[in-house]
Amino acid sequence: KEQSFEEIQAVRRSLPAYKVRHDLMRHIRDNQITVVIGETGSGKTTQLAQFLYEDGFTANGRMIGCTQPRRVAAVSVAERVSKEMDTPIGVKVGYSIRFEDQTSDSTKIKFMTDGILLREAMIDPLLEKYSCIIMDEAHERSLNTDVLLGIFKTLLARRHDLKLVVTSATMNADKFSQFFGNAPQYFIPGKTFPVEIIYTNHPVPDYVESAVQKALDIHLSTPISNGDILIFMTGQEDIEATCSTIIERLTEIYTKKYGANYEEQLADVQVLPIYSSLPADVQGRIFQRQEQNVRKIVVATNIAETSLTVDGIKYVIDCGYSKLKVYNPKIGLDSLRITPISLANANQRSGRAGRTGPGIAYRLFTHDSAMEDMYPQAIPEIQRTNLANTLLQLKSLNINNLSKFPFIDPPPSQNLMTSLYDLWALEALDNFGHLTKLGRLMGAFPLQPFLSRVLISASQYGCTEEMLTIVSMLSVPSVFYRPKEREEESDQARSRFFIPESDHLTLLNVYAQWKANRYSAHWCNSRFLQFRSLQRAKDIREQLLYVIRKLNLPMASSGSDWAPIRKCLCTGYIQQTAKLSGLGKYVHLKTGMDLKVHPTSALFGLGDLPAYVVYHELLMTTKEYINVVTAVDPLWLMEYSGIFYHIKRRKEQSYQFGL
């Protein structure tokens, strides 16, 4: 059921932030920087920007900007606020996330990812378009939030008329105040209810299975009117497994109990997944209110910890893990890892059960492991990921002396060094750590440095048309659709697109055929291709083309000759190269790590594997898999192995890159 405008206004007026509105606005008016603290659901994200707007903060022609660490949140919140203000999205209220801009000349309130604002600062270092910036969800300490905080430190001194509001859950708030010279804090008083926390007695062997059992127990043993269930999982895979197992088990139970009428009974639950790559309209369903006699079971990533408030939750089930990007500076690689959450995160998750009444949180880990294995606070992203992209942006902002940059928590110096080496190896930096001409061009693309390098090289190799397509296809969720029940059929369909020894060229081939079929949705469906992903790739391609034109890079097509494309890939994938080391096995050239070809690759199962490959992705599960792989000529790699030789030498001499 959609909420009516009147209902929405009534909800607004009931929010804790609304009740302190005038006091809060007075604080913001009286101070350049305010740290606003409030429980999740108190109305920080949806109300603050509206209050500022209604108080005339856009009367001078400037905008109110509100940053979010997550794409999904930026979109969802913008949609909610435009509904509350009764205006269509993309006009007065808009959002901007990478490759998707829903704003116009008349936009007054702009929600965006923190990455977008950082890019804007590269073009407009004083952020002249804004009268006020709300840095929302700052406690998440995303990489870009941390960098922006550092930038604001000098920016605010140069623009006395710019207001900064930093919003945070209770954790970390003091840190933000201190960072900005004891900036005042404003607490939004809020009511929360007690939540009983129940640990398992023994470690659980399989948290998906345990979560399913717990959810079924609750559902079958408590009245539906008690409230809904929120399950925290790590990502798309275990979320989908949890959802489908719950439905399977319930079908079994209800069939036994009610025979042929089981379907009517099944209508008393709605199982809803939520993760970032889920289409927006599906995500929106978690906010819709259910009939009285239907129970919602929401299965979410840590996005539901603080970013999105789901109302009506009485029970929380917490698997105790989340997926984190972790950088290993020794091998110089980022990977997604399932990692135990921190205690602060566990408490945020539990808190979701106490919003509308007393609740219960089931933790699928033992009390001992919580006390012994969990950090009190999560490690900020800046201390655990590759910084090449960030450093390229800082250098583009002419911030060269990184040791002087006011990081709220500085990254480990080894991370800084390896990330600088990565940029140097891509020839974005010279021997003194200064941005090269190439590096400046690379910074103009909203892409990882190795991908922007490949795109720029393409103009030398005469294959810009093709590389634009490949890079766009690499920037969207997989275009190949592989439903569980029809794996074999879909694998066959995929293999019809294979180009020998190259997944990159296979992606190019898929796109070219789709184009030849006039970008048809129907054509995709019958070939197990995700129309949505392809459409997005097309859209991204246009945006990247726009950047290429703006930079005056020559456009060319290599036609039916694929060699230039493979060669060109080598210029960017210099760290992602592997050499055949035995039957079906590769070793990572830089580190000697063993790698296997992923089963979805065009190279998987080839009797005669190419001796050298570059790869796009490294998946760390129980084994290390490489995915999106292309065979290359060892001669082309000569140049880059020369580079590695120098890197080694430089390391030995502990060359400092101006650090």
E strand segments, 76-135: 93-97, 100-102, 109-113, 130-135
Q: Map the footprint of ligand ADP across residues 449-478, applying CB under 6 A.
A: none
- Please tell me the distance from the alpha carbon of residue 158 to that of residue 171, in angstroms, as a whole number: 29
What character string, x for contact with ligand ADP (CB under 6 A) and - otherwise, covers 286-325?
-x---------------------x-x--------------
Taking the C-alpha atoms of residue 80 and residue 93, their distance in angstroms, rounded to an integer, is 10
Distance of closest approach, residue 215 Cβ to ligand ADP, in angstroms: 21
Q: Give the whole-angstrom CA distance, residue 614 versus residue 164.
A: 44
Report the C-alpha dihedral over residues 82, 173, 133, 112, rounded to 10 degrees.
Answer: -50
Q: Which does 43 bind (CB under 5 to 8 A by kind): Mg ion, ligand ADP, none?
A: ligand ADP
CA 355/CA 10 separation, integer angstroms: 17
Q: In the bound complex, what is the minimum distance in angstroms from residue 152's beta carbon to ligand ADP?
A: 20
- Residues in the chain, how many? 659
Angle at 316 between CA 66 and CA 295, to 5 degrees: 95
80 binds, among Mg ion, ligand ADP, none (CB under 5 to 8 A by kind): ligand ADP
* Cα–Cα distance measured from residue 419 to residue 568, given in angstroms and rounded to the nearest whole number: 22
* Residue 187 binds ligand ADP (CB under 6 A): no
**Are 349 and 109 spatial neighbours (Cβ–Cβ below 8 Å)?**
no
Query: DSSP H helical segments within 364-502, as ranges?
Result: 367-373, 388-396, 413-425, 437-443, 449-461, 464-474, 487-495
227 near ligand ADP (CB under 6 A): no
Which 3 state secondary structure label does DSSP give 15?
coil
* Interface with ligand ADP, residue 144, by CB under 6 A: no
Least Å from the CB of residue 33 to ligand ADP: 19
Q: Choose the contact partner of 311 out of Mg ion, ligand ADP, none; CB within 5 to 8 A by kind.
A: ligand ADP
- For position 214 contacting ligand ADP by CB under 6 A, the verdict is no
| Beta carbon of residue 358, minimum distance to ligand ADP (angstroms, whole number) | 18
389 binds ligand ADP (CB under 6 A): no
Residue number, 280 or 638, with CB nearest to Mg ion: 280
For the chain, the straight-line distance linking the first and the last C-alpha, in angstroms and rounded, comes to 57
Strands of 252-380, DSSP E = 269-274, 295-300, 313-318, 321-328, 333-340, 359-363
Q: How many CA atoms lie within 13 A of 477 on its CB side?
A: 13
**Helix, strand or coil for residue 347?**
helix
Chain-centroid distance of CA 184 in Å reads 31
With CB under 5 to 8 Å by kind, the binding choice for 380 among ligand ADP, Mg ion, none is none
Which single residue brings its beta carbon nearest to Mg ion?
Answer: 45
Question: Looking at 34-42, 112-120, 329-337, 602-610, which segment touches ligand ADP (CB under 6 A)?
Answer: 34-42
Residue 309's binding partner out of Mg ion, ligand ADP, none, with CB under 5 to 8 Å set by partner kind: ligand ADP
533, 474 Cβ separation under 8 angstroms = no
Binding of ligand ADP by 89 (CB under 6 A): no
Q: Identify which range of 33-41, 172-180, 345-353, 407-415 contacts ligand ADP by CB under 6 A.
A: 33-41
Binding site for Mg ion (CB under 5 A): 44-45
Give the residue with the Cβ less far from ligand ADP, 297 or 578: 297
Instruction: Give the range of 45-53, 104-112, 377-385, 635-643 binding ligand ADP by CB under 6 A.
Output: 45-53
76 forms part of the interface with ligand ADP (CB under 6 A) = yes
Residue 571 touches ligand ADP, criterion: CB under 6 A: no
Shorter beta-carbon distance to ligand ADP: residue 119 or 352: 352
Helix (H) / strand (E) element for 244: namely helix 236-258
Contact between 351 and ligand ADP (CB under 6 A)? no
**Amino acid present at 628:** V
Q: Least Å distance between CB 169 and ligand ADP?
A: 8
- 38 touches ligand ADP by CB under 6 A: yes
Residue closer to ligand ADP, measured from CB, 188 or 216: 188
Rounded least distance, CB 51 to ligand ADP, Å: 11
Choose one: 38-46, 92-100, 477-485, 592-600; the region binding ligand ADP (CB under 6 A): 38-46
Greatest C-alpha distance within the chain: 76
Nearer to ligand ADP, 15 or 269 (CB): 15
Q: Is 656 helix (H, G, I), strand (E, B) or coil?
A: coil
Give min distance, CB of 16 to ligand ADP, in A.
8
Helix and strand numbers, DSSP H then E, in the chain: 25, 21
Size of site (CB under 6 A) for ligand ADP = 15
Nearer to ligand ADP, 41 or 150 (CB): 41
Stretch that binds ligand ADP, among 40-48, 320-328, 384-392, 554-562 (CB under 6 A): 40-48
> 577-582 and 585-588: which strand pairing?
antiparallel
**C-alpha to C-alpha distance for 90 and 357, rounded to whole angstroms:** 36
Q: What is the DSSP string of 559-595?
A: TT--HHHHHHHHHH-TTSEEEEEETTEEEETTT--EE
| Residue 393 binding ligand ADP, by CB under 6 A | no
Structure tokens at 448: 């990882």
Which listed residue (21, 70, 71, 80) binds ligand ADP by CB under 6 A? 80
302 contact partners, CB below 8 Å, separation of at least 6 = 232, 322, 341, 345, 349
The entry of ligand ADP, Mg ion, none that residue 385 binds, CB within 5 to 8 Å by partner kind: none
Distance from C-alpha of 121 to C-alpha of 115, rounded to nearest angstrom? 10
Q: Least distance to ligand ADP from the beta carbon of 79, Å?
A: 6
Q: Which residues bind ligand ADP (CB under 6 A)?
A: 15, 38, 40-47, 76, 80, 287, 309, 311
